[in-house]
Amino acid sequence: MIEVHKDNFDQEVLQADGLVVVDFWGPKCENCLALMPDFQRIAGLYADKAKFAKLDTSGNRRLAIAQKVLGLPVIAFYRGGEKIAELGPSECSAESIEAKVKELI
Amino acid sequence: MENLWDIIIVGGGPGGLAAAIYGARAKLKTLLIEKGKTGGQAATTWDMENYPGFAKGTTGPGLMQAFTDHATSFGAEIVRGEVVDIAAEEKTVTLKDGTKYHGRTLIFAPGAVPRTLGVPGEAALRGKGVSYCATCDADFFTDLDIVVLGNGDAAIEEGNHLTKFANSVTVIAIHDEGVLDAAPMLQERAFRNPKIKFIWNSTLQEIRGDGIVESVVLRNVKTNELTEMETNGVFIYVGTIPLTGFLKGKVNLDERGYIVTNEQMETNVDGVFGVGDARVTYLRQVITAAADGAVAAVAAEKYIIEEEGFKDSVLAEKRPVAVVFWTPMDSKCLEMMPSIESALSGFGNKIKTWKLDTYRNRRVAARYGVTQNPTIVFFHRGQVAARLVVTEITAAAIDDTLTPLLN
């Protein structure tokens, strides 16, 4: 899994081919930390079908807000430079992420 | 039986973790099931300044990590999983992935989650400026203007915390000017904080924004007047709701869904306990949840010793069993015990004698209706065959009662 930040977000996410799944997280967000192992497991399962990335919002606040992320955790799905789907703080779970990945690949 | 544990704890907040510490330290095989990360709501509160002994420099997540390490250091096992079904009497819990665990006792510590307000825009803008967790999301609002809805401890405490990040924090409070429900110390701090403003007699009517929060509509509860106010974020602290949906119909809950227990944390089901914020209780803090956990673990240990000991030694016994309910604290008992023991020993190995301290085994004593000390209850093949209360006990009476049972 790659780490994305303000300097590589355009290249790795917006200009990438195919589906890109980004985990917006923060070190103070316990729910994010709890979700991380699931996200990593799902990333492993679908590594050949989509690109998985994580974004530490603590150093990339402006970027997160520009992506309309103001609460954590958020799993956002991008394709062709556009955000096509998103799971917000109340929707993120191992099951919902995997279901959305399956739906979009 | 597979996956059999002495204590199964559901929920890894301070209540569950304290129960795990006490259970594991008592050498009980202790399992804690947590659906996310341990720490519960306490891990979403950054400033933790009222847990005794940890004044300055302690954070909610930090304290909860210490609780977790403490529990595992004594051998408690922590697994990740969401409990979706339970059988209270059988003491089994089933996880979402189908895994089943069997316990000799169950301790439910499911905790609570912030209550949502249910106003238009709230659900759609969650994570887009609407938040219930300042610790999680405060960073995003650095130098921005935000509102906090609520006037209790959580609202005022988190409002103070948010001023470390935000340009301004406006607290929307429902009471008259100057009246808050929060603890006086928190109130004073908020009133002194130059970054905190208050709007009184008001509540939220709507949250507006295209993709992210742009404004809130406030309603004055006295005049019903509506005012729109621009803001970048809304933090909502209007109480909590217990996460007890999976317990509905399984253990007694009150009308709001909180677990009903007695002082030993016992629910209406034997060997099943409830602790922490999800319990009907006066105060919901880390310290009270932890205290609940300690009480429940000790009560669970006692339950195991009492119930299982009785089951194995008395109910499963093939020979007749004379169970002597007594207590060494009673002088009548002390006086009578030698003659009782001598009368019973006359039967040698044909019967079994089992002494039970009624003070330590109140549950068993109550079940068999023992109200006087001493009382001898004679069991045969798991059933009560006869009984002699204090005034009836003589060597001859013991002889007369036991002899027919020997055939």
Nearest chain A alpha carbon to B137: A71
pLDDT tens by residue, B256-270: 999 999 999 999 999
Q: Which CATH number goes with the domain that contains A34?
A: 3.40.30.10
B48 has pLDDT over 90 = no
- Tell me the sheet residues that pair with B153: none
Paired tokens of B379:
């069991």
Span A38-45, average pLDDT: 95
- Of the listed B69, B136, B312, B400, which one is catalytic? B136
Percentage of chain B surpassing pLDDT 90?
A: 85
pLDDT tens by residue, B122-179: 999 998 999 998 888 898 899 999 999 999 999 999 999 999 999 999 999 999 999 9
Beta-carbon separation of A68 and B211 below 8 A: yes
Give the pLDDT confidence score for residue B118 in this predicted structure.
94
Chain A contact residues (CB < 8 Å to B): 26, 28-35, 37, 57-58, 61, 64-65, 68-72, 74, 88-90, 95
Q: CA-to-CA distance for B398 and B405, rounded, in angstroms? A: 11
Contact A83/A33 with Cβ under 8 angstroms? no
Residues of B in contact with A88 (CB under 8 A): 126-128
Give the pLDDT confidence score for residue B36 in this predicted structure.
87
pLDDT tens by residue, B209-239: 998 999 999 999 999 999 999 999 999 999 9
Nearest chain A alpha carbon to B123: A90
Span A11-16, average pLDDT: 95
> Residue A31, SS3?
helix
Give the pLDDT confidence score for residue B129 in this predicted structure.
93
- Tell me the sheet residues that pair with B354: B323
Give the one of A34, A68, A72 whose C-beta lies nearest to B137's C-beta: A72
pLDDT band, very low/low/confident/very high, at A84 (cuts 50, 70, 90): very high
Chain B contact residues (CB < 8 Å to A): 36-37, 39, 43-44, 46, 61, 80, 96, 123, 126-131, 133, 135-142, 211-213, 233
Span A28-56, average pLDDT: 93
Span A57-67, average pLDDT: 90
What does DSSP assign to residue B403? Answer: G
Minimal C-alpha gap between B88 and chain A (Å)? 27
Nearest chain A alpha carbon to B36: A34
B249 has pLDDT over 70 = yes
Give the pLDDT confidence score for residue B50 in this predicted structure.
85
Beta-carbon separation of A88 and B128 below 8 A: yes
Cα angle B356-B358-B363, degrees, rounded to a multiple of 5: 100
Beta-carbon separation of A70 and B213 below 8 A: yes
Structural domain containing residue A60:
2-104
Domain B130-236 falls in which CATH fold? FAD/NAD(P)-binding domain (3.50.50)
Give the pLDDT confidence score for residue B406 in this predicted structure.
87
pLDDT tens by residue, B311-362: 889 999 999 999 999 999 999 999 999 999 999 999 999 999 999 999 888 8
Give the one of A34, A61, A90 whose C-beta lies nearest to B139's C-beta: A61
pLDDT tens by residue, B10-19: 999 999 999 9
CATH 3.50.50.60 fits B4-113+240-310, yes or no: yes
Please give the residue that has the higher pLDDT: either B202 or A59.
B202
Q: What residue segments make up the domains of chain B, in order of their start?
A: 4-113+240-310, 130-236, 317-406
B46 has pLDDT over 90 = no
CATH class belonging to B317-406: alpha beta
Taking all residues of chain A, what is their mean pLDDT, rounded to a whole number? Answer: 93
Taking all residues of chain B, what is their mean pLDDT, rounded to a whole number? Answer: 94
Hey, do B4-113+240-310 and B317-406 end up sharing a CATH topology, with the first three levels equal?
no
3-state helix, strand, coil in chain B (%, to 5): 35, 30, 40
Give the pLDDT confidence score for residue B2 in this predicted structure.
66
Q: CA-to-CA distance for B269 and B190, rounded, in angstroms? A: 45
Host H or E run for residue B356: strand B352-357
A32 is catalytic: yes
Give the pLDDT confidence score for residue B3 in this predicted structure.
79
- CA–CA distances in Å: residue B361 to residues A103, B304, B306, B366: 58, 11, 6, 9
B99 has pLDDT over 90 = yes
Tokens 């609460």 map to which residue?
A71
Nearest chain B alpha carbon to A71: B127
pLDDT band, very low/low/confident/very high, at B201 (cuts 50, 70, 90): very high
State the best of A23, A40, A56, A70 to mutate against chain B, taking most chain B CBs within 10 Å: A70
pLDDT tens by residue, B268-302: 999 999 999 999 999 999 999 999 999 999 999 99
Minimal C-alpha gap between B139 and chain A (Å)? 7
- Of the listed A1, A2, A14, A29, which one is catalytic? A29
pLDDT band, very low/low/confident/very high, at B56 (cuts 50, 70, 90): confident
Contact B91/B103 with Cβ under 8 angstroms? yes
Contact B31/B8 with Cβ under 8 angstroms? yes
Beta-carbon separation of B36 and A69 below 8 A: no
Beta-carbon separation of B46 and A26 below 8 A: no
Give the pLDDT confidence score for residue B363 in this predicted structure.
81
* Count of the separate structural domains present in chain A: 1
Give the pLDDT confidence score for residue B407 in this predicted structure.
72
ipTM: 0.76
B1 has pLDDT over 70 = no
B133 is catalytic: yes
- CA–CA distances in Å: residue B11 to residues A56, B48, B112, B294: 28, 20, 10, 14
